[in-house]
């Protein structure tokens, strides 16, 4: 079901690229290399099949799921094995608590640490 929702989202986005925010990797830098785009999509929290769908529909880059996983492994893009140091996490959480993140719950804070700070940690 999630894959269907992502595919539907891709179809909508491909027809309305003008309304996507400027930070979206597909629009931000058209000259970016394939690997940089893949790492950017990974850092947004997309899974490998979702990244492959975005590459085909938005970037017009055909790539197999196996090759995509090899590229992610080469750049060290893993969800569980590479954890950020405790000091980095504590500093980022304190920074967020001083700013707009003071009203976030633990799940939203965890997502913000992943997306905005590029940290990998457990909830």
Structure tokens at 97: 């608590």
Mean pLDDT of 56-76: 85
Does residue 121 sit within a domain? no
Tell me 80's DSSP state. Answer: S
Give tens-digit pLDDT for 12-21. 555 544 444 5
Half-sphere exposure of 12 (CA within 13 A, CB side): 8
pTM: 0.52
Does residue 101 sit within a domain? yes
Which of 38-47, 61-70, 78-87, 89-98 is least confident?
Answer: 78-87
Number of domains in the chain: 2
Which of 37-46, 60-69, 74-83 is least confident?
Answer: 74-83
Which of 25-34, 76-85, 107-116 is least confident?
Answer: 25-34
Distance of alpha carbon 104 from alpha carbon 123, whole angstroms: 13
Does residue 17 sit within a domain? yes
Q: Is residue 39 domain-shared with residue 96, that is, in the same domain?
A: no
Domain that holds residue 27: 2-74
Q: Is residue 56 domain-shared with residue 98, that is, in the same domain?
A: no
Does residue 54 sit within a domain? yes
Q: Is residue 67 domain-shared with residue 99, that is, in the same domain?
A: no
């Amino acid at each position: 079901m999630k894959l269907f929702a992502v595919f539907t989202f891709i179809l909508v986005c491909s027809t309305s690229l003008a309304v996507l925010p400027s930070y979206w990797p597909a629009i931000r830098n058209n000259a970016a290399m394939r690997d940089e785009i893949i790492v950017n999509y990974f850092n947004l929290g997309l899974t490998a099949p979702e990244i492959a769908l975005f590459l085909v529909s938005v970037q017009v880059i055909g790539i197999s799921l196996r090759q995509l996983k090899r590229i992610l492994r080469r750049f060290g893009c893993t969800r569980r094995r590479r954890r950020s140091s405790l000091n980095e996490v504590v500093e980022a959480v304190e920074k967020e608590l001083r700013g707009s993140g003071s009203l976030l719950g633990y799940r939203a804070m965890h997502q913000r640490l992943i997306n905005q700070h590029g940290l990998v940690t457990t909830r």
